Structure 1
Amino acid sequence: MVEPRLATVLNVNDDDANRYLVNRILALAGYNVLEAATGMGALLMAQQHHPDVVILDVKLPDISGYEVCERLRADPNTASMAVLHTSATFVTSDKKVRGLEGGADAYLTQPFEGAELVATVKSLLRLRHAEQVARHRANELAEMDRRKDEFLAMLGHELRNPLAAIMTAIGILERRPASDDKEARMRGIIQRQTNHLARLVDDLLDVSRITRDRVELRPGRVDLIPVLRQVLQVLQPMADARGLGLEVTLPPGPLWLHADATRLEQVFTNLLDNAIKYTDAGGVRLDVAQEGVDGSARAVVRVKDTGIGIPLGVLPRIFELFAQADTSLERTRGGLGIGLTLVRKLVQLHGGEVLAHSDGPGTGSEFVVKLPLDHAVGAPAPARQVADLRRGRRVLLVEDNADARQAMRDLLELWGHQVAVAPDGLQGVALAVSQPPELALVDIGLPGLDGYRVAEALRARVGNGIRLVAMTGYGGPEGRDQALRSGFDRHLVKPVKPDELDRILSEL
């Protein structure tokens, strides 16, 4: 059995008799004792031997004990040492205050009893031990948090790759008529559940960024109405599958916001998805209006359902992380308890607010989002119309996931493109050099040569005429920035919807 290490105490005093007496008291109490007679000597001993406690007389022949303490605290190598000031002459309260504010942990006035000195040293050692435990735990938590973020990023990548293959395969099937109603229903189920899984992955990764305040917006001038229509288009089949009515009231004109359209879509997808999920009968209403004028004008979006409602005890914390309206053991509604936390944070980042209301279980719920309108004069210029570019283009697909590669190849060939494929970065670069494509779709997480280095190599060896699109399971903003710096024209997060990919190809 390993014996516990004896605590070491550095005794600093220029009076030889006093120093000897304190040394004897500490040695008899079982401590290892070091000594110094000057302030500079104390600093040198502290650096060399790292004592647990420094008993530091205030009056020293070279520099004062106050300055010694301040220097100990300023040095990271000695900052954690416990310091006990002692004094026989500077005993006024203002001197004690100066010592304690300068970094000392305790202050004893001489003469003091040996038992008082030992008890004070023991107290400081307990405090030091507690601080060390807390510091060690904080370091462990920081390391665990770092590993958790790495795990979530890898988890997102590993989940998005199979989701990408499924979504691309469904995109191919949708372009052919179903043989019967049953097949059409099965396709719808796969499509809805794939979209649901993709949203869960996005939420899971976003909540990690939110807890560290690392969510970034990419705002622009956005009309809220098309954003909501896009959300409704995705969620309408889910409402139909549950036999729910989905009533929508939209204003006749646009509602311009300075906002991130993707994040707004995430907000309202979460709210409408929850409303549908927690409603067994009746329906869901989406009402959109404008309130206020000029500088105070806001877009107001209300999502109201006839569902299970929210218990009054849960309502005040419904936006907290992992809060759940359905707390029963069955947990039939699913969900991670993070969607509403994301909603609140994203709305706040847009300068808005979100409110929740319910009269209790069985009474339904209402969520109200208020977002400030953009007061810039006039609408933005219309987007440049892109010609139909469905002629066969030479496309290079670099993807290491075999199913995703095959599904994407089939989809691109269905659209009439000539497709060359490579399972890793080195083969992708070699193919591009020997047969230069017009456009390359490149996965980032490739074996051998990652997608960033592939882009750099293609820019250097093929030139700027080729269009490069990154497709990745890593969805962080830092990945997008690195992709653009590496030479990519666009950055897409898997799973990429076929319609979105078709639009990107046409624009490029």
Structure 2
Amino acid sequence: MFLAWGKELCFLYNDAYVEILGAKHPWALGRRFQEIWSEIWQDLLPLIDKALAGEAVYHENLPLTMHRHGYDEPVWFTFSYSPVRDDNGTIAGMYCACVETTEQVLAEAYRNEENERFRTLFEQAPGFMAILRGKNYVFDLTNQAYSQLVGHRDILGKPAREALPEVVEQGFIALLDHVYTTGQTYVGHAMPVELQREPNGPLEKRFLDFVYQPIRDARGVVTGIFAEGSDVTERKQAEEELRQLAADLSKANQRQSEFLATLAHELRNPLAPIRTGLDLMRVSADNPASTVRIREMMDRQLDHLVHLVDDLLDVARISTGKIEPKKARVLLKDIVLSAVETTLPGIQAKNQDFSVHIPDEPIWLIADANRLAQVIGNVLTNARKYTPDNGKIDLSVRRKSDEVVIVVADNGIGIPADSLPHIFDIFTQVGHDSSHAQGGLGIGLSLVKRLIEKHSGTVHAFSAGPGQGATFTIRLPIAPAEAEPSTAAKVDDNAMPVEQRPMRILIADDNQDAADLLKEMLEIQGHMVRIANDGMSALELAKTFLPDMALLDIGMPVMDGYKLAMAIRQAPQLRSTRLAAITGWGAKEDRDRTREAGFDYHLTKPVSFEALKGLLRDVQSAEQVPAGKRNGS
């Protein structure tokens, strides 16, 4: 038996296990499991993983190829793996009780091989089998599986060299000679062989697991060879696919690690000036001009933070199918100009030559205008980032049959050929080295691809190489000609503004700083405000304060925002109180849940001053609607 302990699975064993180790004892004592049995590590790793996950494993006569006496040798073991826990109950290692069954297995195999001479059982065997007699290895008997493997050729009574001439130079005849001469069994694992399985056809590569077993007469003299095995081509292909998958997962993990590091960097970028701004405001409170500049800077940095979080949430929602474009009949020109308006300040800041070419004819799409503007904006932002100052960016739109083609081309740093296939993968960044580092999370182009696919379109990237610029081409289907433009609801500019009156407002939030700031914002507008820091306290306060409006955080202790909203709705004296959820969760299912809990409104953090004012205007203008029947914001 042995014990593999600790993170490195260091080896401790008893005297009986010394014989199994062979020449590896005493070197093996205290060394890592993987280091001691590196030749069989991949065979044992799945079983080890199960034991370390808390599952006891038992195997009987598991075949392995060990290197313990200076050469590889096939061996068999019956053993069990069991998890071993430390004093805290945590799995810290594994225990193995084992017995080598090599001799028993080989003896049983020999008996089975002899029994296989019964033609019926032999013929029905799923693996291929053949009996070769004499030094010329004449085919004495084969089963259906062997005949299928070699292409149903007439090989019985023929020497191996004549029956299968294509394998002579592939080393198999030499293996037969070795087995016949030495009397040693040969075991092949996933060995490649090229066979002509069709008359006059090409050679077909297959992979075989097989055994060449010497056949002995009563005196122990080798008189032939028994060949048995399986065509494992499909398994080999699956293993290759798994290896490729593992490599892909490793790359994805590396990209994710790089992303997390980048995310930390990108979050620090706006947080640093915000922190500095707060310090400056403390020391320059008597300088209004400085305070205004600092506040504007902090607003910009906060907008940048919100944009980062929105991008992350968009990727997550699209990946899980939780976001669908809100499509309508829209004019492409308006979408393009909206994207240009958003990105133009950054382009102008780098003094880049920016040209836009849009055809005069109206091009209509069935699309989500906001999402497509986001797509084009992301591609333009990408071009701006990786194009140097005074560089050139060109945006062109053209109609081609029943689709529209949008092209963004630049003369920037370009894209290496090996990066092009992964350019739309999440967490991938162009020009990741420090000389070209431009910030960002590596999710912008991933968003582009996913949103374009949501619109039944395609996006393609091309670059002639580093320093040769890049071109991104978006193709989208054009709206059918017979469809009429939808009439969107318009804001009545002549509507009378709602005159705001002071309101009684309850804030329930376990974040004291956030609650205090929100209270201050509301009191500036003339409202009476009370604060509670958990759901139960908020409910008791509401019953005496009788607020017109309650702003409830969702994740509070004692009683969360959902339960609090339902409790308020059940209180007779609070039936007229409007409820707004203030939360960091803003997906459709989150809004559905707050609506079901009785909320009238749903605000996503961070809540701006303007959004709060707009909410209160909405509340006062909709007071004729019963509480608990809205939740449309």
Normalised-by-shorter TM-score class: 0.5 to 0.7
Question: Aligned to 1:492, which of 585, 603, 617?
Answer: 603
| 1:92 and 2:123 are equivalent in the alignment | yes
Contact 1:192 1:238 in 2 (8 A): no
Look up the match of 1:319.
424
CA-atom RMSD, angstroms? Answer: 5.6
Residues 185, 424 of structure 1: alpha-carbon distance in 2 compared, 3 angstrom cutoff: same
Verify the 8 A CA contact 1:221 1:256 in the aligned structure 2: no
Deviations 1:91-119 (A, max 9, x none): 4359779x99xxxxx999xx9999x99x9
1:8–1:315 Cα change, 3 Å = closer
1:454 matched to 2:564? The reply is yes
> Could you tell me the percent identity over the aligned residues?
35
Q: Residue 584 of structure 2 corresponds to which residue in structure 1?
A: 473
CA distance 1:311–1:185, shift in 2 (3 Å)? farther
Question: Relative to structure 1, is the Cα distance of residues 437 and 244 closer, same or farther in structure 2, using a 3 angstrom cutoff?
Answer: farther
CA contact (8 A) 1:306 1:363 kept: yes
Out of 386, 398, 401, the residue aligned to residue 511 of structure 2 is 401
Q: Which has the higher helix share?
A: 1
Closer/same/farther in 2, CA of residues 95 and 457 from structure 1, 3 Å limit: same
User: Structure 2 residue aligned with 1:429, among 529, 539, 545?
Assistant: 539
1:341 aligns with 2:446: yes
CA distance in structure 2 between the aligned counterparts of 1:284 and 1:454, rounded to whole angstroms: 56
One-letter amino acid of the structure 1 residue matched with residue 60 of structure 2? T
Query: CA shift at 1:345, angstroms?
Result: 1.0
Equivalent AA in structure 2 for residue 281 of structure 1: D
Report SS of the residue matched to 1:7.
strand
Are 1:8 and 2:60 an aligned pair? yes
Code of the residue aligned with 1:329 in structure 2: it is: S
- Alignment partners' CA distance in 2, 1:271 and 1:232: 11
Q: Describe the SS at the equivalent of 1:480.
A: helix
**Residue 326 of structure 2 corresponds to residue 219 of structure 1:** yes
Deviation of 1:349 after TM superposition, in Å, equals: 1.2
Please, what TM-score do these two structures have when normalized by structure 1?
0.59
Shift in alpha-carbon separation, 1:288–1:396, aligned structure 2, 3 A: farther
Alignment pair present for 1:442 and 2:552: yes
Q: Residue 378 of structure 2: which of 265, 270, 280 is its match?
A: 270
Counterparts of 1:248 and 1:496 in 2: how far apart (Å)? 35
Contact 2:580/2:601 (<8 A) preserved: yes
Could you tell me how far apart the structure 2 residues matched to 1:472 and 1:86 are? 76
Structure 1: gaps of 5 or more residues: 11-28, 34-54, 56-84, 101-105
Residue of structure 2 equivalent to 1:62: none
Q: How does 1:286-435 map to 2 (within 5 A)?
A: 287=395, 289=397, 291=399, 296-298=402-404, 300-330=405-435, 332-375=437-480, 376-383=483-490, 385=492, 387-389=496-498, 391-392=500-501, 393-435=503-545
CA shift at 1:9, angstroms?
6.7
User: Is the 1:275–1:284 Cα contact (8 Å) retained in structure 2?
Assistant: no
Q: What CA deviation, in whole Å up to 9, does each residue of 1:400-420 have, x standing for no partner?
A: 333333333333444454443
1:344 CA drift (Å): 0.4
Q: Does 1:194 align with 2:302?
A: yes
Residue 74 of structure 1: aligned partner? none
User: Residue 596 of structure 2 aligns to which amino acid in structure 1?
Assistant: R
Instruction: Give the stretch that moved more between structures: 225-234 or 322-331.
Output: 225-234
Bigger Cα displacement from structure 2, 352-361 vs 230-239? 230-239
Question: How far apart, CA to CA, are the structure 2 residues paired with 1:501 and 1:226?
Answer: 29
* Count of residues in Structure 1 that have an aligned counterpart in Structure 2: 406
Does structure 1 retain, via aligned residues, the 8 Å contact 2:61–2:76? no
Could you tell me how far 1:257 is from its partner in structure 2? 4.4
- 1:412/1:259 CA distance change after superposition, 3 Å: farther
One-letter amino acid of the structure 1 residue matched with residue 309 of structure 2: V
CA–CA distance in 1 between the matches of 2:367 and 2:441? 26
Counterpart code for 2:123: T
1:343 Cα offset (Å): 1.2
Q: Is the 8 A contact 1:86 1:107 kept in 2?
A: no
Give the counterpart letter for 1:388 in structure 2: P
Question: What does residue 63 of structure 1 align with?
Answer: none
Q: Which amino acid letter does the alignment assign opposite residue 391 of structure 1? A: Q
Residues 38-187 of structure 1: pairs in structure 2 closer than 5 A = 89-92=120-123, 179-180=288-289, 186-187=294-295
Q: Distance in 1 between matches of 2:439 and 2:348?
A: 19
Q: Letter of the aligned partner of 1:460 in structure 2?
A: Q
- Opposite residue 193 of structure 1, the aligned amino acid is Q
Return the alpha-carbon distance in structure 2 between the equivalents of residues 421 and 225 of structure 1. 48
Tell which has more relative contact order, 1 or 2 (C-alpha 8 A, sep 6+): 1
Distance in 1 of aligned mates of 2:337 and 2:524: 28
Aligned equivalents of 2:409, 2:291: Cα separation in 1: 33
Shift of 1:234: 5.1
Match of 1:282 among 367, 379, 390: 390
Secondary structure of the 2:383 match is helix
Matched, 1:482 2:482: no
Q: What is the CA–CA distance in structure 1 between the aligned matches of 2:443 and 2:576, rounded to whole Å? A: 43
**CA shift for structure 1 position 333:** 0.9
SS in 1 for 2:437: coil
Contact 2:583–2:605 under 8 Å retained in 1: yes
Which digits, 9 at most, give the CA deviation of each residue in 1:308-344, with x for residues without a partner? 3333443343212333221323553112222211210
Q: Quick one: distance in 1 between partners of 2:215 and 2:384?
A: 74
Q: Deviations over 1:14-49 (max 9, x none)?
A: xxxxxxxxxxxxxxx97669xxxxxxxxxxxxxxxx
Cα drift, residue 373 of structure 1:
4.3
Q: CA deviation at 1:488?
A: 2.8
Residues 292 and 305 (structure 1), Cα distance of their counterparts in 2 relative to 1, 3 Å cut: closer
Distance 1:447 1:357 in 2: 53
8 A Cα contact 2:383 2:393, kept in partner: no
Closer, same or farther: CA 30–337 of 1 in aligned 2, 3 Å:
closer
Q: Which runs of 5+ in 2 are unaligned?
A: 4-16, 21-56, 63-74, 80-104, 106-115, 129-143, 146-207, 217-224, 282-286, 620-633
Contact 2:350 2:390 in 1 (8 A): no
Distance of 1:216 and 1:444 partners within structure 2: 22
Secondary structure of the corresponding residue to residue 89 of structure 1? helix
The DSSP-based 3-state class of the residue aligned with 1:92 is helix
Cα distance in 2, alignment partners of residues 86 and 427 from structure 1? 86
1:499, CA displacement in angstroms?
4.1
Distance 1:253 1:485 in 2: 47
CA 364–193 in structure 1, closer or farther in 2 if over 3 Å, else same: farther
